[in-house]
Chains A and B, each alone.
Chain A
Amino acid sequence: MTTKNVELRVFGMTCDDCARTVAQGLRSRKGVEEAVVDVRTGTAEVTIEDSAVTPEDLLRVPIFGERSHYKALVKRAG
């Protein structure tokens, strides 16, 4: 299994609870090995299983959905 580290820029987080919620949302995606979210930098470091999920797939997890307060874009992929 090959893994890849992806950095997301996450918008809309205001507190540690937000960071926890976003991290949980990312971890719920199949293929996400780990997600560490930092509210101060507005970033998420995500380790993904290369064959199961793409960096762009991470933007489509429900936590970043159209009605969600949180939005993200890919800052660095691999």
Chain B
Amino acid sequence: MVSRQFDLVILGWGAAAFSAAIKASELTSGGATIAMIGKGPIGGTCVNVGCVPSKYLLEASHLAFNPRHPRMPGVGAVGPKVDFGKVMDGLRAYVDHARSAKYEEVIRNYPNVTLIEGLGSFLDERTVKVEGPSGGEVSGSQVIIATGSAPTVPKIDGLKEAGYLTSDTLWNLNELPHRVAIIGGGAIGLEMGQALLHFGAEVTVVEALDSLLPQGEPEIGEALKKRLEGEGMRIHLRARVSSAGKSRDGKYVEVITHAGRHRFTVDEIIVSTGRRPNTGTLNLEVAHVKTDERGLIITDRAMRTSSPGIYAAGDCVSKTLFLETLAAREGVVAVSNMFGQEAEIDHGSATWAVFTYPQVAGVGLTEKEFSRKNGSCSFRTLSLANLTKASLMGETDGLVKITVDPKDNKIVGMHIFSPSATDIIIEGAYAVRHGYTVEDIIATSHVFPSLSEGVKLAAQSFIRDVSKMSCCVE
């Protein structure tokens, strides 16, 4: 069979793949012939079943919830009329729009990029067999693997028979499930849990670990748990689901906790226990591409795999942070190196977030991570009760934690639990990336009163007791 020959073959058509294809096109002024081989909706996880629909649902849910729970005296509670079916119609229409505007229409501007629908697998280091409508063999001078990941589902007795949703299928809902069990209290589970809770569902989260968001600071996991429980969410830590099944009035979930075994009835079960890389069908062995024990592709910081001329980017890569933004950057790094322009991925200053309300965001090392690595560290935690903007908003549950290297006061980590934390964290990203000190933050003007001023106060708490400080002391 004759292979179609391209300069670059990209396996996958999600964020990393698009980023790589666009960068390669820019570097060659559209001269590079590029094949993007993918299956399922174009654009991959983020736009179709990830960040975009989940943030849409969260935003809508907060609009439904917040007017019912005013936080300032003199402002009465009102209950907006919510048509959940229409919310979901709006969500799906928005996803279609985003996919069209940000992926389908975008790629039409690159006539050098050929989209090939199907499942690709290696025949050798440079040739890929495509099983799909157009089929055939495709060869590339260089190859990027950017096949992303998919939700995992644990083996639980009766779960399959009971039926469940994941972050791939939740978006097909038309009616609000009134009682929901969420298996897995990570970012996805908590976001979906709070969204459904804010629409009025009873939500129970079952998490195997002993804290929420263990990748972050424990103070934030604790504060978030308290906030969500205050809103009515039931959270079982150090718990596991032993079985599930259908019951007379819905589905049942049996949970084992330190208090014993108990069973509760729900209308829907959502599984959010993690994701696995889409590498199992790639036939990586014949291409001599090595993976770790989880099936994630091992790369160096230039995104090179163990096989010369084959790069990898995105959620199929072995690392600790799995983010759309990082995937896109990795695509650019891979292509830059392919063209001899040296670039390395910087995972250390990558920002991550959980879009609950209030939001959680982080960058760099936690206190524990830095201490483990260096033997000691210095940190300060600022309660938002000390921040004028937060306290006038009635949003004092949150905190800002900054960790510094005690040798030079350079900021090595920042973690925030606050409204708009996902916007504020960028100050931490600059600080960690460029090695700013707490003095640099203090010397930089911040708007008063603002939530971002919380970062400045957290920095000031290294040099004084901020509870004994008047506004705007420098």
Contacts and interface: CB of A to CB of B under 8 A. Distances in A.
B111 to A, nearest CB: 15
Contacts of B32: 9, 11, 73
Interface stretch (A15-23, A30-38, A45-53, A56-64): A56-64
Contacts of B90: none
B141 A71 contact: no
Given A73-B141, A74-B142, A75-B141, A12 B338 contact: no
B341 A66 contact: yes
B29 interface: yes
Contacts of A11: 27-29, 31-32
A56 B340 contact: yes
Given A59-B339, A66-B341, A12 B141 contact: no
Contacts of A77: 308-309
B7 A71 contact: no
B29 A12 contact: yes
Contacts, number: 42
A71 B142 contact: no
Contacts of B27: 11, 71
A64 B339 CA distance: 8
Contacts of B8: 73
Contacts of A9: 7, 32, 141
A73 B29 contact: no
A76 to B, nearest CB: 7
A59 B309 CA distance: 13
Nearest to B31: A11
A73 B31 contact: no
Interface string B352-364: 0000000000000
A12 B32 CA distance: 10
5 contacts: A9-B7, A11-B29, A12-B28, A73-B141, A73-B339
A71 to B, nearest CB: 5
Contacts of A12: 28-29, 31
Interface residues of A, number: 17
Contacts of B308: 77
Contact of B339 (A42, A71, A75, A76): A71
A72 B31 contact: no
Residues of B in contact with A, size category: 10 to 19
Looking at chain B's contact residues, the main secondary structure is loop
Interface string B58-94: 0000000000000000000000000000000000000
B340 A59 contact: yes
B7 A72 contact: no
Given A9-B7, A9-B141, A72 B340 contact: yes
Nearest to A8: B141
Nearest to B8: A73
Nearest to A64: B340
A64 B336 CA distance: 12
A64 B309 CA distance: 18
Contacts of A75: 7, 141
Given A66-B341, A75-B141, 10 more contacts: A12-B31, A42-B31, A59-B339, A60-B342, A72-B340, A73-B8, A73-B32, A73-B141, A73-B340, A77-B308
Contacts of A74: 141-142, 309
B459 to A, nearest CB: 36
A37 B340 CA distance: 18
Contacts of B342: 60
Interface string B253-268: 0000000000000000
A29 to B, nearest CB: 12
B338 A73 contact: yes
A73 B338 CA distance: 6
A63 B357 CA distance: 52
Interface string B1-13: 0000001100000
Interface string B314-340: 000000000000000000000000111
A78 to B, nearest CB: 10
Contacts of B309: 74, 77
A74 to B, nearest CB: 7
Nearest to A57: B340
A12 B8 CA distance: 16
From B7, B339, B341, residue with most partner A Cβ within 10 Å: B339
Contacts of B141: 9, 73-76
Contacts of B28: 11-12, 71
A42 B340 CA distance: 17
A72 B339 contact: yes
A70 to B, nearest CB: 10
Contacts of A59: 339-340
